[in-house]
């Protein structure tokens, strides 16, 4: 009797045991008509796995869950070399299986899952995940510099599990520029996925060309099923979250932040198109936590398009009024609220300067177009309370002032900052 795996055909965790079976000749089949989010919620399924996760293996002697355990079980059904030829080889195979799971897979998922909207997206958490993943890939790269396989001189269970975990990373989120730092890992991965037994189960793998953009978070709940795209197109992520494949595309489309269609035509929309995408700058600004100058500021000037956009300094005309700190801060906050109508077309930094009253309020603004947009001047009364001066980007001193205002540099023009507010 064949062993049965309860999982969808695109589940990379189920593929581990299926590839083992290709190597060892054991008959393992996927259950028919498995529906993620439905089949694994039944009482029968929960009796197989009380936590209700996927995959689960059904054998004549009972069930096994956890994809690595299933793969190990299947590998032990016959005599073979998947567990190595010696005890130390066995120890090292287990070591790389755990490494593949705890260092590689877990960090890939910490990066990927929030980006496709199935967990809350938090930039510091993403930064930590990417940093941990790089540390792990560097260690793996070092090992693979002098090893074709993880252990010994042929494919073992460690290679099968490691490769399945890397499939998710390579196909969904790790671009060539990311993995090029780890050339031995790249060489290893492509060699493995092109082995016939892998190719038969995984199919053809194409490397991701970009990192998925941040979606709004959809919390998985008891009744609502989040979505997973199919694997042969885009090798899929780990089936820890319950998912309905058929709902995938429409739901993904709803969640993506589409540019709202303006009710009246905004003249800025009629400008010739620009290579600079304001949202890309806003994301770079927001997500860069370390090496701000080298990453964000440099990135700004790389993407800045002086034909499509313009930079402006503003200086509050009535600083002598700014005698109470929180009143001053509230005034600036109010200005930024009233700028909301301009959000698609503007980015700004407002600095409140000084360690004692009267505080000075100065700002830096990036506007779409080569003028301050008229509709902003018309609608936002704060604009006339400031002196506006266009930034001359050929003047290095002015460029440096721009940089300092973006990064909240202190001391700013010799003084400390009381507050810095960002409009984005």
Residues that bind another protein (CB under 8 A): 50-52, 57, 59, 61-62, 64-66, 68-70, 72-73, 76-77, 86-88, 90-92, 94-95, 97-99, 101-103, 106, 119-120, 122, 124-125, 128, 135-136, 138-140, 142-143
CA 301/CA 331 separation, integer angstroms: 30
CA 112/CA 121 separation, integer angstroms: 10
Q: Closer to another protein at the Cβ: 221 or 394?
A: 221
Would you tell me how many other CB atoms lie within 10 Å of the CB of residue 279? Answer: 13
Q: Are strands 28-30 and 3-6 parallel, antiparallel or unpaired?
A: parallel
CA 401/CA 172 separation, integer angstroms: 40
User: What is the nearest approach in angstroms of another protein to the Cβ of residue 71?
Assistant: 9
Q: Closer to another protein at the Cβ: 131 or 355?
A: 131
Q: Closer to another protein at the Cβ: 101 or 398?
A: 101
Q: What are the structure tokens assigned to 256, written together?
A: 């993506």
Q: Closer to another protein at the Cβ: 12 or 360?
A: 12
User: What is the nearest approach in angstroms of another protein to the Cβ of residue 379?
Assistant: 35
DSSP type of residue 408: T
Q: Are 136 and 43 in contact (CB under 8 A)?
A: no
User: What is the nearest approach in angstroms of another protein to the Cβ of residue 247?
Assistant: 23
CB contact burial 377-402 (16+ within 10 A = b; e otherwise): eeebebbeebeeeebeeeeeebbebb
User: What is the nearest approach in angstroms of another protein to the Cβ of residue 277?
Assistant: 28
Q: Closer to another protein at the Cβ: 289 or 370?
A: 289
User: What is the nearest approach in angstroms of another protein to the Cβ of residue 416?
Assistant: 22
Q: Closer to another protein at the Cβ: 81 or 390?
A: 81
CA 281/CA 299 separation, integer angstroms: 8
User: What is the nearest approach in angstroms of another protein to the Cβ of residue 167?
Assistant: 19
Q: What is the DSSP string of 64-96?
A: EESHHHHHHHHHTTS--STT-SSHHHHHHHHHH
Q: Closer to another protein at the Cβ: 114 or 363?
A: 114
CA 121/CA 211 separation, integer angstroms: 14
Q: What is the dihedral of CA 111, 165, 170, 239, to 10 degrees?
A: -60
Q: Closer to another protein at the Cβ: 240 or 344?
A: 240
CA 151/CA 156 separation, integer angstroms: 7
User: What is the nearest approach in angstroms of another protein to the Cβ of residue 20?
Assistant: 13
User: What is the nearest approach in angstroms of another protein to the Cβ of residue 154?
Assistant: 18
User: What is the nearest approach in angstroms of another protein to the Cβ of residue 111?
Assistant: 14
Q: Residue 2 — φ and ψ, nearest 5°?
A: -70, 150
Q: What is the dihedral of CA 355, 358, 359, 363, to 10 degrees?
A: -150
Q: What is the dihedral of CA 74, 80, 86, 88, to 10 degrees?
A: -30
Would you tell me how many other CB atoms lie within 10 Å of the CB of residue 193? Answer: 21
Helix (H) or strand (E) holding 174, with range, is: none
Q: What is the distance between the terminal CA atoms of the chain, rounded to a whole angstrom?
A: 61
Q: Closer to another protein at the Cβ: 73 or 149?
A: 73
């Amino acid at each position: 009797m064949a062993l049965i795996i309860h999982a969808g055909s695109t589940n990379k965790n189920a593929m581990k045991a299926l590839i083992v079976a290709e190597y060892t000749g054991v008959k393992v089949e996927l259950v028919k008509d498995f529906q993620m989010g439905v089949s694994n919620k039944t009482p029968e399924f929960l009796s197989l796995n009380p936590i209700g996760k996927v995959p689960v293996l059904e054998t004549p002697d009972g069930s096994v869950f956890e994809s690595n355990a299933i793969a190990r079980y299947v590998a032990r059904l016959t005599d073979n070399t998947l567990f190595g030829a010696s005890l130390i080889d066995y120890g090292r195979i287990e070591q790389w299986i755990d490494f593949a799971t705890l260092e590689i897979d877990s960090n890939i998922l910490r990066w990927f899952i929030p980006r496709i909207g199935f967990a809350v997206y938090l930039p510091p958490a993403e930064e930590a995940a990417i940093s941990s993943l790089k540390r792990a890939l560097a260690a793996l790269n070092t090992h693979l510099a002098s090893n074709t396989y993880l252990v010994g001189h042929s494919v073992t269970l460690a290679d099968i599990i490691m490769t399945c975990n890397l499939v998710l990373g390579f196909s969904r989120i790790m671009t060539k520029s990311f993995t090029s730092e780890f050339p031995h890992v790249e060489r290893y991965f492509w060699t493995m996925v092109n082995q016939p037994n892998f190719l038969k189960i995984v199919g053809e793998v194409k490397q991701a060309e970009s990192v998925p953009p941040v979606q709004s978070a959809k919390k998985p709940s008891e009744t609502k099923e989040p979505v997973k795209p199919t694997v042969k197109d885009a090798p899929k992520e780990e089936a820890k979250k319950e998912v309905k494949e058929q709902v995938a595309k429409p739901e993904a489309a709803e969640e993506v932040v589409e540019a709202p269609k303006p009710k009246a035509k905004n003249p800025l929309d009629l400008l010739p198109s620009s290579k600079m995408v304001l949202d890309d700058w806003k994301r770079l600004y927001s997500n860069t936590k370390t090496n701000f100058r080298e990453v964000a500021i440099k990135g700004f000037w790389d993407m800045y398009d002086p034909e499509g956009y313009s930079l402006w300094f503003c200086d509050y005309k009535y600083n002598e009024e700014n005698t109470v700190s929180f009143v001053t801060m509230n005034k600036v906050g109010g200005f930024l609220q009233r700028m909301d109508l301009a959000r698609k077309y503007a980015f700004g930094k407002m600095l409140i300067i000084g360690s004692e009253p009267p505080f000075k309020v100065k700002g830096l603004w990036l506007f779409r177009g080569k003028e301050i947009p008229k509709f902003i001047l018309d609608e936002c009364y704060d604009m006339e309370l400031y002196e506006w001066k266009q930034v001359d980007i050929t003047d290095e001193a002015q460029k440096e002032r721009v940089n300092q205002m973006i990064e909240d540099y202190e001391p700013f023009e010799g003084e400390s900052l009381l507050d810095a507010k960002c409009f984005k």
